[in-house]
Amino acid sequence: MNHSVLFQPLDLGALTLKNRIVMAPMTRNMSPGNIPGPQSLEYYRRRAEGGVGLIITEGTCINHIAANGYPDVPYFHGEERLAAWKKIADAVHREGGKIAPQLWHCGGMRRAGTPPEGEVNGYTPSGMNVPGKVNRHEMTKQDIKDVIAAFAQGAADAKALGFDAVELHGAHGYLIDQFFWEGTNQRNDEYGGSLENRSRFAIEIIQAVRAAVGPDFPIILRWSQWKQQDYTARLVESPETLEQFLIPLSEAGVDIFHCSTRRFWEPEFEGSTLNLAGWTRKITGKPAITVGSVGLSDEFLPLPGQAHFRESEPASLDDLLARLENAEFDLVAVGRALIANPDWATKIEAGSAEQLAPYTKEMLAELV
């Protein structure tokens, strides 16, 4: 098929993108001292040079004592760390790209003992990282206020540093998603119970971020049905419930929804071919990003007994292009294919897909 639809510009008000290609956020664990260094700068710069329209960074932790859950991930607070992020944003801009940090709180995915915060336990709505097992810190009302303020400060810093947008990580069983998910949210106050109440934490974060960045700075929300704790988990089972979930988030201030699925081509509900991004766009009228094994022959989730992204060969884009041509969604996030091919976008635009390298697990060993 003709790839030109991927390379049409998109005007999103304050954010104008040269094409529809987004670099998906991917944790790389290569920021010693939680500072993104020169290798990280070059990693992102090369993808901008290679034609990506919008780069969404790996998850970067907000300024909260329990935000981190993994070694050597970057933070988005502190003078030295923010100065490093500014250098990355400037480098991406010099190559003609746009960039948004993904602000992240790991919630219950944190285990006590994770450095550098040490014995601080994971923070969760109900002390659970998986349904039914209480082994984390149950958040107080003050904890909730502190985390909301930290997200808002991170967004304000992103704007001040010259980033083009900000993404809030509300997917994959991390903190915001743990509030969404009834399995891990068993609170009996206004933050638990009904879907409306379980969304309150996210809505208050979005509202605080909007107040911090003003009316024109784009806010992206990444969300998912599936969780790391349960790949089959679902927040909603019907378009009607999806509408009840999405509209309040949209009205709170989300400009773009980043709809994370394992396989973008799968329909979300029976009776329709629309995927999750398609339904999200239809319901909210807001731009939607699709993601999930784009351009590859196999999904990204690890094989049993393995911890790394699944290896995969380049695959046809025909179904993706047809859906984009039909305006099912607006943007396409590419993950592993961009690890394997920093110039993925340039090669696709040139009609040189046969030159694309497959993704292999060895590629995770270094930032290239």
Whether 63 and 154 have beta carbons less than 8 Å apart is answered as yes
Q: Which residues pair with 100 in a beta bridge?
A: 56
Instruction: For residue 216, count CB atoms less than 10 angstroms from its CB and return exposed for 0-12, middle for 13-18, buried for 19 or more.
Output: exposed
The tens digit of pLDDT for each residue in 61-78 reads 999 999 999 999 999 999
pLDDT for res 299: 52
- For range 100-105, the mean pLDDT: 99
To the nearest whole percent, how much of the chain has pLDDT over 90? 93
Q: Which among 172, 77, 182 has a CA at the least distance from the CA of 126?
A: 182
Is it the case that residue 313 has pLDDT exceeding 90?
no
Whether 88 and 126 have beta carbons less than 8 Å apart is answered as no
Q: In sequence order, what are the residues at sequence separation of 6 or more whose Cβ sits closer than 8 angstroms to the Cβ of residue 188? A: none
Structure tokens belonging to residue 27: 């944790």
- For range 104-118, the mean pLDDT: 97
Longest dimension (CA), the chain: 56
- For range 163-189, the mean pLDDT: 98
Helical pair 200-213 and 239-252, crossing angle rounded to 10 deg: 30
Domains of the chain, each with CATH number or no CATH: 4-365 (3.20.20.70)
pLDDT for res 302: 52
Whether 126 and 186 have beta carbons less than 8 Å apart is answered as yes
Binned at pLDDT 50, 70 and 90, residue 303 comes out as very low
The tens digit of pLDDT for each residue in 36-67 reads 999 999 999 999 999 999 999 999 999 999 99
Structure tokens belonging to residue 22: 């987004």
Is it the case that residue 310 has pLDDT exceeding 70?
no
Binned at pLDDT 50, 70 and 90, residue 1 comes out as low
Is it the case that residue 306 has pLDDT exceeding 80?
no
The tens digit of pLDDT for each residue in 240-299 reads 999 999 999 999 999 999 999 999 999 999 999 999 999 999 999 999 999 999 988 765
Structure tokens belonging to residue 170: 């509300």
The tens digit of pLDDT for each residue in 148-167 reads 999 999 999 999 999 999 99
The catalytic position among 43, 75, 123, 174 is 174
The answer to whether 174 is a known catalytic residue is yes
